[in-house]
């Protein structure tokens, strides 16, 4: 895969502007009771991205601010920053996604549609912004496990972007209610297990078409207070090859990614 290099400038100013716009829109001309705010922040052992390669092989800090209006519409900002490398803004671990989405739940299925703009923070002379479409259908009225199908289209924003294309992830998940007593109280800590396969279409990022990788994940949701949760997670990534070498990214290797996040709901 061939990249063209470009210098990204004034990124911090652009990012600050987006944050201010989001906060302004979320508090203007709408009754406060219609809005819900969720802040999720935490650290992961490495940054394993959707196409199936490790963009940053050191710990990263991840923050996600989601603002929901009613039961369907939402928008927000997702940001990751590589840590312990001393070069903030100089590697593939530093990025910002601005997104807007719509979701709906019926008796048999749940649907989630999202558009987002991916911006890679300045890393010397490299920039590969993308626009992204995500879709997901959960078949919620099924016994034993819940199957789902997720899709993503990576769209280019110009000659600096990597090759566009589709990914599709069929998968299943199951949430188990777990309870235990500790520190003089009863804890409800549901455990969610998730397994999925990834298939590439149209050779996105210059990858091969077909089966790309499998992932098995587990996460707990531990309530600390009514509106605060602790979320430890573990993901095992099993590649099938066909992912091109992208700079210093780790590709086509088994990966074990663990994380610890805090979620605040307002």
The top-level CATH class assigned to 11-265 is mainly beta
**HSE-up (13 A, CA, CB side) for residue 215:** 25
123-175 per-position pLDDT tens digit:
444 556 788 999 999 998 788 899 999 999 988 776 666 778 899 999 999 99
206-232 per-position pLDDT tens digit:
667 788 899 999 999 998 888 999 999
Higher pLDDT, 217 or 204: 217
3-26 per-position pLDDT tens digit:
332 333 344 434 444 444 444 444
pTM above 0.75, yes or no: yes
- 211 touches 219 (CB < 8 A): no
Lowest mean pLDDT among 19-33, 122-136, 242-256: 19-33
Domain boundaries, the chain: 11-265
């Amino acid at each position: 895969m061939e990249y063209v290099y470009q210098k990204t400038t004034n990124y911090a100013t652009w990012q600050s502007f987006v944050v201010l716009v989001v906060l302004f829109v979320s508090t203007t001309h709408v009754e406060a009771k219609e809005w819900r705010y969720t802040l999720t922040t935490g650290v992961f052992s490495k940054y394993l991205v959707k196409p199936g390669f490790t963009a940053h092989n050191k710990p990263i800090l991840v923050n996600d601010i989601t603002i929901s209006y009613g039961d369907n519409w939402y928008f927000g900002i997702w940001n990751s920053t590589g840590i312990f490398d001393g070069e903030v803004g100089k590697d593939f671990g530093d990025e910002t996604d601005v997104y807007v989405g719509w979701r709906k739940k019926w008796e048999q299925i749940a649907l989630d549609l999202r558009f987002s703009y991916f911006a890679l923070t300045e890393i010397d002379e490299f920039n590969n912004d993308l626009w992204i479409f995500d879709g997901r259908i959960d078949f919620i009225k099924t016994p034993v496990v819940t199957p789902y199908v997720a899709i993503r289209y990576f769209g280019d924003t110009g000659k600096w972007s990597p090759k566009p294309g589709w990914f599709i992830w069929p998968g299943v998940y199951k949430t188990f209610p777990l309870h235990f007593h500790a520190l003089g109280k009863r804890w409800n800590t549901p455990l969610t297990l998730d397994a999925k396969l990834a298939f590439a279409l149209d050779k996105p990022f210059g990858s091969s078409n077909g089966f790309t990788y499998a992932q098995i994940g587990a996460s707990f949701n531990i309530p600390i207070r009514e509106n605060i949760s602790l979320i430890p997670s573990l993901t095992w990534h099993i590649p099938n090859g066909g992912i091109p070498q992208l700079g210093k990214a780790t590709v086509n290797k088994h990966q074990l990614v663990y994380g610890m996040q805090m979620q605040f709901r307002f």
